[in-house]
Amino acid sequence: MTLLKKIASLVFHRTALVGLLLVVQVVLLVVMMVGFADYFVQFYILCVAVSVLVVLWIVNARSDPGYKIAWIIPILVFPVFGGLVYLLCGGNQLSARTRRKMEGMDRKLVEVLSDDYKAEDLAPYGKDAVNQSRYLEQYAHCPLYTNTATRYYPLGDDAFPDMLEALRRARSYIFLEYFIIDHGVFWDSIVDIMEEKAKAGVDVRVIYDDIGSLYTLPKNYPAELEDKGVKCRVFNRFVPVLSVRLNNRDHRKFCIVDGHTGFTGGINLADEYINQRGKYGHWKDSAIRLQGEAVWSMTVMFLTMWDYICGVDEPYDKYRPAHLPEASGAGAGYYVQPYTDSPLDGEPVGETVYLNLINKARDYVYITTPYLIVSDSVNTALCNAAKEGVDVRIMTPHIPDKKIIFEVTRAHYEPLLEAGVKIYEYTPGFVHGKNFAVDDKYATVGSINMDYRSMFLHFEDGVWLCGDPTVLDVKADFLNTQNKCQEITLERCREHSVGRRLLRAVLRVFAPLM
């Protein structure tokens, strides 16, 4: 009976139904093409013309060169389907309605946060620091803050009790925004607190990504939370339409309480992130807690996403805390800058922050990432830094969560190792943290993977630190974890068979589409 239930759940799961409808669309397209069999030559010429125009469009588009190549090759090899598929699924073409909504998010960020801009205060740290902060203010519309205490968590296990404690202390509102939510110790503990707080009059809201939680939550889950008094919205519902919109996911991670305490990082709200469920060995993740002024910026980020989904424009002033509790550990000399990245504005904020950290490093760059599927510009920056004598180290998982993606990650090792970059794989399990530590001076902790999806297709967030003691905590975590890793050598990379190396070469070409 249990087996029958599992089979039924798979067959009637909405992914199966949606997949079936997508197949129907492809079949209809093929039938239409067959219907033009008598005019095949004319039809073929038309398709080739469309594909040529699409290639010209791609070449002149403002996108990563690797992404362009990954599309141009299949379009030229399959001219009949290639151009049509790109028109349906490629790039980030926006409808007029989506563009207006996106502009509304940016406009609201500027309207609410621009008075807080103060990048020039970083002058004592040098021009590089000022320029990085100014970039985030001008292009991500996210201000720099002081008077904010930070705490770095090397594991989701460590962050879990503090998150619950912060939620229990909520008096005005609780805002949660996550890519993945799944039932278990972690999420069920949070639901109990949210239900209790909602009954007490606290404004409790949840946003989750539909594809991220596709196999973990039922379609009607928002109604279940609403019955508990929790407002819930789903980002970008998975619908049976061949569209580029399916690529744009909400990968951000926010847990915000009363505008004065906020958590973000790599952890989602599921048990593997706190090692209550062993999926891929030991799960090595990270998080950061902010307490103080900078949390207001995170609050505004959440509210703009809420308004984007709901199509409303609510006043934000009522959510700004009038009096912030004393933040232990905060100091005037520490600077914190939460930032967000949208795939719809044409500005690769996440990649630019990473490139700036790499390019401006003088002594070391320590990077933790679950995926190493980098653009040519990031690859070149890492190689150049290592060649100039900067100690560049990258930590990736040893046990993969997705085997093909892991092959793509390893496909990027060889040129980096040749340039002098050191690569370590975490042997106890899977690394999911997304951190940089640079020169004992800068760090960033957030949701942004070193892959094309995070840098170009997803909504993401991070926290940039300058002069904050937490930078040293991020560094110490890297060095401590390195002791549990195996170093990957160039000789080892070259030991693989010709067939496997050829496969990796092909995967590198098409990595931007994965």
Task: Write down the H helix ranges in 169-294.
Answer: 185-199, 221-227
Q: What is the pTM of this model?
A: 0.87
Confidence tier at 245 by pLDDT (50, 70, 90): low
Same domain, 436 and 297: no
Same domain, 273 and 150: yes
Percent of the chain clearing pLDDT 70 (strictly above): 83
Q: What is the pLDDT of residue 55?
A: 80
Classify burial at 140, counting beta carbons within 10 Å of its beta carbon; exposed 0-12, middle 13-18, buried 19 or more. buried
Same domain, 101 and 83: no
Same domain, 195 and 272: yes
Residue 501, number of CB atoms within 10 A of its CB: 14
Distance spanning both ends of the chain, measured CA to CA = 37
**Does 375 reside within a domain?**
yes
Classify burial at 138, counting beta carbons within 10 Å of its beta carbon; exposed 0-12, middle 13-18, buried 19 or more. middle
Output phi, psi for 237, to 5 deg. -50, 140
Q: What is the pLDDT of residue 6?
A: 44
**Does 340 reside within a domain?**
no
CB 421 within 8 A of CB 392: yes
3-class DSSP assignment, residue 258? coil
Distance CA 314, CA 300 (A): 11
User: Among 147, 117, 148, 146, which Cα is nearest to 134's?
Assistant: 117
Distance CA 179, CA 435 (A): 18
Same domain, 74 and 119: no
Classify burial at 69, counting beta carbons within 10 Å of its beta carbon; exposed 0-12, middle 13-18, buried 19 or more. middle
Same domain, 108 and 84: no
Q: What is the pLDDT of residue 34?
A: 66
To 10 degrees, the CA torsion angle through 219, 221, 222, 224? 140
Same domain, 194 and 331: yes
Q: Which helix (H) or strand (E) holds 406?
A: helix 403-411
Reported as a single tens digit per residue, the pLDDT across 90-145 is 665 555 666 677 777 888 899 999 989 999 999 999 999 999 999 999 999 999 99
CB 387 within 8 A of CB 415: no
Which of 335, 360, 393 terminates a domain? The answer is 335
To 10 degrees, the CA torsion angle through 140, 144, 148, 152? 50
**DSSP 8-state class, residue 326:** P
**Does 343 reside within a domain?**
no
**Does 342 reside within a domain?**
no
Place of tokens 């699924």: 89
Distance CA 424, CA 417 (A): 11
Answer left, alpha or beta for residue 349, where phi above 0 means left and psi between -120 and 50 means alpha: alpha
Residue 8 reports pLDDT greater than 60: no
Span 453-477, mean pLDDT?
Answer: 94
Same domain, 39 and 115: no
Span 40-69, mean pLDDT?
Answer: 75
Identify each DSSP E strand in 217-318 by its residue range: 231-235, 254-257, 261-265, 282-284, 287-292
Residue 111 tokens read as 């309207």
Percent of the chain clearing pLDDT 90 (strictly above): 59
CA distances in angstroms from 111 to 120, 344, 362, listed in the order given: 20, 19, 37
CB 450 within 8 A of CB 365: no
What is the per-residue DSSP string for 443-503? EEEES--BSHIIIIISBEEEEEEES-THHHHHHHHHHHHHTTEEEEPHHHHHTS-HHHHHH
Number of independent structural domains in the chain: 3
Which of 89, 113, 143 terminates a domain? The answer is 89
**Does 124 reside within a domain?**
yes
Reported as a single tens digit per residue, the pLDDT across 154-165 is 999 999 999 999
**Does 459 reside within a domain?**
yes
Q: What is the pLDDT of residue 51?
A: 79
Q: Could you tell me the CATH number of the domain that includes residue 129?
A: 3.30.870.10
Classify burial at 425, counting beta carbons within 10 Å of its beta carbon; exposed 0-12, middle 13-18, buried 19 or more. buried
Q: What is the extent of the structural domain holding 85?
A: 2-89
**Does 17 reside within a domain?**
yes
Residue 235 tokens read as 């980002």
CB 431 within 8 A of CB 489: no
Span 470-477, mean pLDDT?
Answer: 97
Same domain, 77 and 100: no
Which of 56, 89, 122 terminates a domain? The answer is 89
Same domain, 508 and 373: yes
Q: What is the pLDDT of residue 125?
A: 93
Same domain, 220 and 138: yes
Same domain, 104 and 16: no
Residue 173 tokens read as 């509102």
**Does 48 reside within a domain?**
yes
Reported as a single tens digit per residue, the pLDDT across 437-450 is 999 999 999 999 99
CB 211 within 8 A of CB 246: yes
Q: What is the pLDDT of residue 65?
A: 74
CB 154 within 8 A of CB 243: no
In our burial notation (b when 16+ CB lie closer than 10 A, e otherwise), range 206-234 reads: bbbbbbbbeebbeeebbeebeeebbbbbb
Highest mean pLDDT among 107-111, 316-320, 393-397: 393-397
